[in-house]
Structures are given as structure tokens and as C-alpha cells.
Structure 1
Amino acid sequence: MNIKTVEELFIHLLSDTYSAEKQLTRALAKLARSASDEKLVQAFQAHLDETQGQIERIDRVVESDAAIKIKRMKCAAMEGLIEEANEVIESTEKNEVRDAALIAAAQKVEHYEIASYGTLVTLAQQLGYKQAAKLLSETLEEEKATDIKLTDLALGSVNKKAGNKS
């Protein structure tokens, strides 16, 4: 990787984020199957649909400007976060404790995505990619909303039920 300009940095980070979203689509279905709380299952399924829309939005970012071309790469950070989630699944029974751990794993993913999209929006604005900045901002807001939903699930019921398991 030899990045010399802010434009090259933007393309690199956008490509990395695209990879992250693709990896996440595969992981979310497994998270949904691994959860026992019905509201958490529904949250993972809804986020899967949303993530597919976010991938389409990145495709629209690429279509919005001829200078933006995604590179094939693998997001190592998302790969690690998904591996952590898989370790949670393998080391816990399908119950409230696993649900609490799955929320924690999912929030790590959300925080990574919030940081990624926040940076992309800033760079797109700096580079004058107005349409890209608008599209990426939409995704940023969705990621923040998902993080809040996960917090609400944890505080509303899942963590309380998990606490009663001890």
C-alpha cells in the first residue's frame, strides 16, 4: 500500500469499508441464528437488510464520480471483529448470556463502522465529493441508530436476563 494523496486515502478507506460491509452481511445471518432473544434476532435481521442497502449506497458513491474506483481488498479489522463474535458463539450456550455477549460484539462492529464512515464523510467533503458525502452521511446516521438500538436492547431486557443466570 503506497498512499500519496488524500484522494488515494479516501479510495483506500472506501474500499476497506466496502469489504467490511460485505463480510458483515455474511456474519449477521449467523449472529441472528445464534441469538435466543427474539428482539435481538429481529435486530440482526433488520441490520442485515440495512447493510445490504449500505453496500448499494457505496456502489452509488462509486457511480457518482468517475474518479472513485474501489479496489479489491480485505478489511482485516472487520475480519477480526467477526472472529471475536464467532468465538463468543463457540464458547457460550444459546441463552441470555450469549445474547449479551453478541450485543457487545455487534456494538464493537458498529463503533468501527461509525469511525469508518465518519472519516469517509469528512474526506469526501474535503475532496468536494458532495454526492458521496451525502450518501456516506446517510450510512453514518444508520450506523449510529443501530448502535443506539443495540444499547436499548441490552439495557431494556437482555443484560438483565443474563444477570439472572449467575
Structure 2
Amino acid sequence: METLDKLFEDTLRDIYYAEKAILKNLPKMARKANSTELASAFETHIEETEGQVERLEQIFEMIGKSPRGKRCPAIDGLAEEAGEIMQEAKDDMVRDAGMLAAAQAVEHYEISRYGTLAAWAEKLGLSDAVPLLQATLEEEKLTDQKLTELAVSEINVEAGNAAEKNETNKPRAPKKVAAK
């Protein structure tokens, strides 16, 4: 990668791979969600992601390249982390909190990538690509905001209640009294 246009193409392939991976993982997360609101958020984002993939394919066409992904270790790691949470969390609400946090980590990655790509597209004079990248960037920011609101209003509250319930059911060790 000796030029900005090659770096742009490489990063475009990275996010294309990431979006395809997200499309594979979101349905699993929607099925595992205990909260109907969280499941709905995941399902809504599936539809948005499909549109984002279409936009990326349009950009590939603009630059005269075939839409092809490049393995993205970052998204693979985030997907693996989400998978572990889905498998290991015993409490439904704790699982929801973990999946929501994993989804937000993905959103933050995407926000970073799309912001960078939009700036590079502008610098490269890819004026038709800029609004497509900006549209996706705004969708990702809005999704992150909705997930934050869901976390604060419901998911983290319920997960915290589950933790408190589990704590009250555990036998407590006697308190040690300090000698005077």
C-alpha cells in the first residue's frame, strides 16, 4: 500500500468483510436475546447492514473493483468475544448485557472505519462515495445511541437486578471483627 487509494481499497475490503461477518452473527444474537427490545434492535440492524453492504458494493463499482472482503482480525475477535458471552453467560439478562456490549464494540469499530473512509474518499475526490459512507456512518452512530439507551433503560438494570438476586441467595461469610 503505497498510495491513499490503495489504502482506501484495502480498508473498504476490510469493512466489507466485517459487514458480511456481522450479517452472519446478528441473527444468532437476536435468537439468544432474552429482551424483546434487544432482539428487535438486532433484527433492525440486520436490515440496515444489508443496505450498508449494498452501498459498499456501489463504492467498489465506482472505483472499478469487484466487491471482495479481506479478512478482518478485529471483527473476528469481536465476533468470537460475542460468541463466548452467548455460550458462557448463565443468566439471561447478564447474557443480554454482554451481547449488547459486544454489539456496541462492533458499532464503535464501524464508526471508526466509516469515518476514516469518508474522509479518505473526500481527499481522493470520490465525491459520489462520500454521501454513501456518510449515510452508513450516521446509521452506525444512531444504532450505537439506541443500544446505549436500551442498556441504560433496561438491559443493565435487569442484569444488575439479577446480580443482586444472586448475591442475596449466596451464604455470606461471617464478618471479621478487628481486635482492639
Shorter-chain TM-score tier: over 0.9
Letter in 1 for 2:25: A
Partner of 1:96: 93
Distance in structure 2 (CA, Å) of the matches to 1:156 and 1:48:
22
Among 78, 83, 89, the alignment partner of 1:81 is 78
Distance in structure 2 (CA, Å) of the matches to 1:78 and 1:158:
24
Letter in 2 for 1:25: L
Partner of 1:21: 19
Letter in 2 for 1:146: T
Q: How does 1:116-127 map to 2 (within 5 A)?
A: 116-127=113-124
Q: How does 1:3-152 map to 2 (within 5 A)?
A: 3-66=1-64, 68-93=65-90, 95-152=92-149
Distance in structure 2 (CA, Å) of the matches to 1:102 and 1:65:
36
Preserved CA contact (<8 Å) 1:20 1:78: yes
Q: Which runs of 5+ in 2 are unaligned?
A: 164-180
Distance in structure 1 (CA, Å) of the matches to 2:121 and 2:67:
14
Partner of 2:177: none
Q: Which runs of 5+ in 1 are unaligned?
A: none
The CA deviation at 1:79 is 0.6
- Tell me which of the two structures has the higher relative contact order, counting C-alpha pairs closer than 8 angstroms and 6 or more residues apart: 1
Letter in 2 for 1:54: Q
TM-score by length of 1: 0.94
Q: How many aligned residue pairs are there?
A: 163
Letter in 1 for 2:108: H
Distance in structure 2 (CA, Å) of the matches to 1:46 and 1:156:
19
Q: Structure 1's 72 and 19: CA in aligned 2 closer, same or farther, altered over 3 A? A: closer
Letter in 1 for 2:29: L
**Deviation string for 1:51-101 (max 9, x for gaps)?**
0110001011122343x5545421111111000000101111351111111
Q: Structure 1's 42 and 131: CA in aligned 2 closer, same or farther, altered over 3 A? A: same
Preserved CA contact (<8 Å) 2:60 2:66: yes
**Deviation string for 1:37-64 (max 9, x for gaps)?**
0000000000011101100010111223
TM-score by length of 2: 0.87
The CA deviation at 1:163 is 0.6
Preserved CA contact (<8 Å) 1:84 1:105: yes
